[in-house]
Amino acid sequence: MLLHRTVGDMLHQTAKSFPDTEAYVYPEKGIRRSYSEFDKETDELAKAFIGLGIEKGEHVAIWSDNKREWLLSQFATGKMGAVLVTVNTNYQEKELHYLLEQSDATTLILGEEFKGTSYIDIIQTLCPELADGEKGALTCTALPHLKRVIVMSEQEYPGIFTWREFEAYAQRITDQQLKEKMKALHPDDVINIQYTSGTTGFPKGVMLSHDNIVNNGQIIGDFMNLTSDDRLCIPVPFFHCFGCVLGNMAAVTHGSTMVIIEQFEPKKVLQAVQNEKCTALHGVPTMFISELNHPDYASFDTSSLRTGIMAGSPCPIEVMKKVIHDMGAGEITICYGQTEASPVITQTKWDDAIEKRVSTVGKPHPHVEVKIIDPVTLEEVPPGTPGELCARGYLIMKGYYKNEEATREAIDPEGWLHTGDIAVLDADGYIEITGRIKDMIIRGGENIYPREVEEFLYQHPSIQDVQVVGVPDAKYGEELMAWVILKDSETLTAEELRNACKGKISHHKIPKYIEFVSSYPMTASGKIQKYILREMSHEKAAVKTK
């Protein structure tokens, strides 16, 4: 049976059922909170959002790694009705500007930095008006909707609220006022916008409701057989559905403990699993590979592990086997889905046969319809025949924010989400994903669309044309290769081009391989034959990695 409750109601119910169970642990910080304490903390923060003047339906962007303030903001906005807009931690200035502008965000909550990138420097560059502006009354020429910036620290910056200053606004709101706000929310309200790249190359804001993410989290946890005795290690980023739905929502709907790693490091994960006696562990395949291959791996005790999820990109069978047999996660599951589906569509169950858990992405979740169609005729195909996977049900997004055309392209009039992925249904009802209709590249769990990278590279003054394709990579699953045609009499090296990308686009979008050519393989009608470029790329990359 589907739940029909808001994020706030769901947390309150869990806190009532498991008041003394640990809700979350930050092993690196020594922070531990029970569900009762977590519920009260998020009540206070929800009051702070209201006290700051943020209304139901207003867009609050959040940009940091897995900090405690991120976790609290997720559930506090879920209680008072602001829409949390998640920002990729790898974003640089151009990408942040686009997201804040397109989302109409009125508030930005941010960490100070991430992996050498100063978030403060970036927002000060985008909004120089912060230098002389009044806190909470920002007038930014580049971002006219943005009124407030809040930093997750006590360091003073001009025009930016410290975290303590933000929290103090809770004193302006009574408990009764918060209750009235919570009562005014509806499970069908949009509560989260997650940005995902599109085939046009420009990120699209996926609007997800309370019903979308609460129910998806509930069913994900059911498939893992989660209970209040489980302790789930979450090293995957919160800005992805993997972190905030498969991680946080799956745990909170079941009263399980979240053991949170702020930034993925294999040794920190292994240490947390051992010291906190984690029973579940999430990760993309590259994370599990890094853990299994860490030089100190054998010195850690992972015998407490039972389950978890490997997802985000195709899961190598040998890696799954090692996680099951070496790490001890005998009931590990695999998920498949996309952000537009909240995100999980299919999942293996904790008690599925190992053969199914290493070779398929499981069966559709309850309350989810799935069909596999011929991409040309749109007719459903029989089991064993490849076709495009489509899904329908409670989990499908409300649409793309301010992009009705893209919404119509993704969801047909009958409510089916067309995933663009090629799948095969086996005789037992399990699904295998065999390819992608779109040109999407998945590098280490990050979805990259070539057009976005191409559009950026086109801006280089020496470049006439560029085509980007994916090539197989042992570590990340796929890497990017750019095929570049230079303008007449221009010169450019691969290293110079990579340096031009640094600080402008996310590091995972910078091509690992760059080839300079004078022309592309073309059809008679003048279309670039990208499949031939892919074949050439595979050969080139194979030579370079020997």
Q: Where are the domains of the chain?
A: 7-325, 441-545
Pairing mode of beta strands 399-400, 107-110: unpaired
> Is the pLDDT reported for residue 200 higher than 50?
no
pLDDT at 198: 45
How much is the average pLDDT of 195-216?
84
- CATH of span 441-545: 3.30.300.30
d(CA 489, CA 320): 51
DSSP class of 147 = -
CB atoms within 10 A of CB 543: 8
pLDDT at 526 over 70: no
Please say if the pLDDT value at position 49 is more than 60. yes
Q: Which amino acid is at 149?
A: V
Average pLDDT over residues 312-333: 87
Tell me: domain 7-325, CATH 3.40.50.12780, correct?
Answer: yes
Percentage of the chain with pLDDT > 70? 97
| Average pLDDT for 86-112 | 96
Q: pLDDT value at position 527?
A: 52
Q: pLDDT value at position 197? A: 61
- What are 228-276's pLDDT values in tens digits? 999 999 999 999 999 999 999 999 999 999 999 999 999 999 999 999 9
Q: Report residue 368's pLDDT band, with 50, 70 and 90 as the boundaries.
A: very high
- Note the pLDDT of residue 435: 65
Residue 156, burial from CB neighbour count under 10 angstroms (0-12, 13-18, 19+): exposed
Confidence band (pLDDT; 50, 70, 90) for 546?
A: low
CA neighbor of 172 nearest in space, from 79, 44, 58, 8: 44
Confidence of residue 55 (pLDDT cuts 50, 70, 90): very high
Rounded to the nearest integer, the mean pLDDT of the chain is 93
